[in-house]
A = this chain, B = another copy of it.
Amino acid sequence: MIIDGKAIADSIEQEISSKIAGEVFHRRPGLAVVLIGELAPSHAYVKMKKKGCDRVGINSYIYQFDENISEHDLLSTIQDLNGDEKIDGILVQLPLPDHILPHKIFASIDPGKDIDGFNPVNMGKILLGMSDGFCPCTPLGIKLLFEKLSIDLTGKNVTILGRSNIVGKPLAALLMQNSPGLNATVTLAHSKTKDLQAVCHRADVLVAAIGIPQFITREYIKQGAVVIDVGINRVDDPDAKTGYRLVGDVDFHSVFEKCSLITPVPKGVGPMTIASLLLNTWTSFRRRI
């Protein structure tokens, strides 16, 4: 069965929208998005995030900068946003230009407005099992998928493939927690893992987040496993209007009949990431109002 990430994300957005509309607040939630440079995918992502805000009633404020912006000026912008009362969430679109260190930028965002969850304080809170921080949006989106589909991970072997700071590591930290529905036995696999196929084949739930187009084929999958595909890779496609199409890290057609559930690309994890961003912004607003 194909998991309809889009429909589940829509239902979450609907809930957020009702909450924002359903009570009288003296202002709307506000999300600041900092966008640097001209990379097409970054602009596309920011546009999607802005549209998401519009759908649920969050005010979005786009701060656009030339790719040559100095680290000092970027930090100073973030300081202003930290102090800006109307802003509940601050998002700095990745990737950053080479001359700017992501760690320094993330650490400068007020943890209470860090709705991307990349500040070390919020990362640490996930690992410690504290619920008063923010979880990065893709891991949160995946957790919400399991919740909405009533998939209980307790005791299940969950293999996460890929150890990025924005997906693999925080997702591992999240799913291992002693919390109802989680409690997974998590294995984090990566480029140095030996016998990767065997490691993946043991997984009741396999999460692919390595950024390699269609890497995971049926040989990696245990019969009946749940497959979550985080990859969003552009591959050339002369037949497409844009000249490319999006594929995941999973070879969908190879895997489809062997697994019990699978997220497609697009319309799988992607919309859940956007919904989680809106949810985190709403959560911040409720804490701050």
Contact = CB atoms under 8 A, between A and B. Distances in A.
A186 B185 contact: no
A127 B128 contact: no
A233 B165 CA distance: 36
State the majority secondary structure of interface residues on A. Answer: mixed
A120 interface: yes
A267 interface: no
A20 interface: no
Contact of A103 (B123, B130, B186): B130
Interface string A183-222: 1011111101110000100000000000000000000000
Contact of A190 (B128, B178, B193): B178
B193 A176 contact: no
A193 B185 contact: yes
A176 B172 contact: yes
Given A123-B123, A155-B193, A163 B178 contact: yes
A38 to B, nearest CB: 28
Contacts of A183: 190, 192
A92 B286 CA distance: 33
Interface string A93-124: 00000000001000000000000000111111
A280 to B, nearest CB: 16
B188 A155 contact: no
A201 B209 CA distance: 27
A129 B186 contact: no
A169 B163 contact: no
B165 A169 contact: no
Nearest to A106: B128
A110 to B, nearest CB: 13
A75 interface: no
A125 interface: yes
Contacts of A177: 163
A62 to B, nearest CB: 27
Q: Which of A157, A172, A185, A186 has the most CB of B within 10 A?
A: A185
16 contacts: A103-B128, A120-B125, A120-B128, A123-B128, A124-B125, A124-B127, A127-B127, A127-B169, A157-B199, A163-B176, A178-B190, A183-B192, A185-B187, A185-B192, A186-B187, A187-B187
Given A172-B176, A185-B187, A185-B192, 14 more contacts: A103-B130, A120-B122, A120-B125, A120-B128, A123-B125, A154-B192, A163-B177, A169-B173, A172-B172, A172-B188, A173-B173, A183-B192, A185-B188, A186-B187
